[in-house]
Structure 1
Amino acid sequence: MNPSADVVVVGGGVVGCSVAYHAARRGARVVLLEAETVGSGASGAAAGMLAAQAEARGPDSFLDLLLESRKMHRKLGAELYEVTGLDAEYVWEGTLRVALSEAHAEDLSEALRWQREAGLSARWLDGAEVRELEPALSAGISGALYLPEDGQVNSPRLVRALALAAARNRAEVSEGEPASGLIRQRNRIAGVRTARRKIAAGSVVVCGGVASGTLARHLGIRLPVAPVKGQILSVETTTPPITSNVWDEECYLVPKRDGRVIVGATEEPGTHDRRPTLGGVAGLAGAAIGLLPHLARRPFAGAWGGLRPGTPDGRPLIGPAGDPEGLLIATGHYRNGVLLAPITGDAVSALALGEQPAVDLSPFSPLRFEGQR
């Protein structure tokens, strides 16, 4: 079967659209298959924080990946705007990890220590300095770890811009066309089947989020990806009362350029029901008002849920699936899909086209859980 595409990407979330965009930029013939509409899964539900330092737990390969992808985001917005005219609404105003208790302040002090030792921009603010930076925050905040290089983006707009940029680079973006199976020829994946056609391919990249394991199981491949539901709500403001991302132990607040403040997110493993619950919304609302009392007087704009693709160690599955050849995996990004989309797209598209990726993906190999139960 002669290939009709160099790369077929299964899944149109932020990671799949990034793979398609970067592969198409390299001149590849790309087909992106999305079962619903691009960004209809976890990517479209995400708050869009680019909190590389806030997410990390220490200096390791995962931190390196987060930092490199955050760096790529700095250029990506202008790139996409030039190609598509769509503004992904990047904001680079840092993250405040605030402390409402002495125990949490001690944890944040430890994070400050190792981040400074790693040469990263980070400093401690006492309560007065926190309110000097963000006057609307609660008087109960005793201090905060300030990470000035973190940022955020409008996640649904970023996904649309990546998909459109891929299409402008001659990729086929097919919505409403789920992959129903993989085509195997001897020891190689040779393409993808859908309800209406067979697409022969040089490489297939599975970027299906929580659904990624379905296709893999047909091949006897175990992808330990499980849903972790996250509920999010939105509050309308004329002008957001904060400029930074604000994050404590119970919730985070992300001020958007259109005036909304996004409040997230619950952590609910093992459920496939994305609908928000009264308890989830109530818990987030109470935590948000505790951080930012101003929000109690603002209109409630809505709530929604998404299913993050979690893995046993909280780190993504990126790279070759092993046997059979020709199959690449890019899933399991958990709560960092938006942040890690640029580096994943660039590295996986390179692998798909027989090139050496710019980063070492071995710590994130999909094969690292083989033999575990």
Structure 2
Amino acid sequence: MEESLKNYEKSIDKKHGFGWTPKYEEEFRTNLNEKVFVSIAEKTFEKLNWDLVYKEDKVIEAKRKESNFGVEKWTEAISINFSHGKIIVKSESLGNEIWDNGKNSKRVKLFIHAFKEIEKSFDRESLERLEVEIDRKNNWDDYLIPENLSRPNEIKKANFTILLIGGFLISVVLAFILAQISVIGMYVIVLVEYGVALAIAFSLKWLIEISNFTELNKLRYLLIGIIILTYLLNQYFQYEIIIRENNYDRIGFLEFIKLRLEEGLIIKKTNTGWIGLVISWILQFVITYYIALLRLISNVASYQLRRVPVDVIDFAFYHFVKNKTEGEVRKELSQKGWTVRQNQDEVFEAINALSELKQLNR
């Protein structure tokens, strides 16, 4: 960030925000149209060294990051909305604080200042040139249709059975590890669930590539099944370990669960009873599911992009920009050697994956 902007930031009279997610919002007006507004807002983010994460016709968003002890993390999310000449700027904290020390107000006021500076640097002629440039970029007018496209990959049929078998093995291995950790008293709530979610997501990433299966709805059901089976087997393995290591008389597994419920969940010498134990089991599933699901969506989208060459994705996307139908795009792909329907479907999936990753980044 330029020295002049750093000096201005120091001079800002900040306003403190309080709440579970502190935020600050301010608005101002401009004579720019929505098309040019987005471009200048993007230039403002670049000038402020904020990371652009999302943009569309009337909305653009960025995240600001700080580095502490060599570790970078996003601290605020800044969203800019345009409506009939009115620009609403909002900054929202991304940490766990309930007091933002005025940081959100500083981000908003700094953006407005930097935006207006850039806006002033454009006269009417330069704004017209910028608008023409934006239209050319949005319409892909500078795209040159290649004579040839990269060859399609060898056809590989999707095989969900590989995922089912792999998912079962993942559950067994993770359940046994969890049981060992639980029995020796090293189970740390949230941390363990986070680790389980990452392990499941990493394993599924590998299995998805082997099986070439990317149907997200079925993968979600598979994920739910893996998590439920993992935590059920975890209880069973705990039962077996406790019985074997202590030479107890064997009781039924259901009787073991009944005894666990009667014993309840003890947190810092406080017994929360069977309700606390059941709630902890529910939280296990919920935390693991949502963390693993986000990773799963990202992994599927990344794989869908990797299996199709970039020049082919660009070629198909260009024709969609020119308002061609799916059938017409398939015809264009066929003329360039992509004649097999499965290969064509994978191109369309890759284009959709770009949108998925965009939303995840947001």
More strand by share: 1
Whether the TM-score (by the shorter chain) exceeds 0.5 is no
Q: TM-score, structure 1 length as denominator?
A: 0.22
| Structure with greater helix percent | 2
- TM-score normalised by length of structure 2: 0.22
Structure with higher Rg: it is 2
Q: Does 1 or 2 have the higher relative contact order (CA < 8 Å, sep 6+)? A: 1
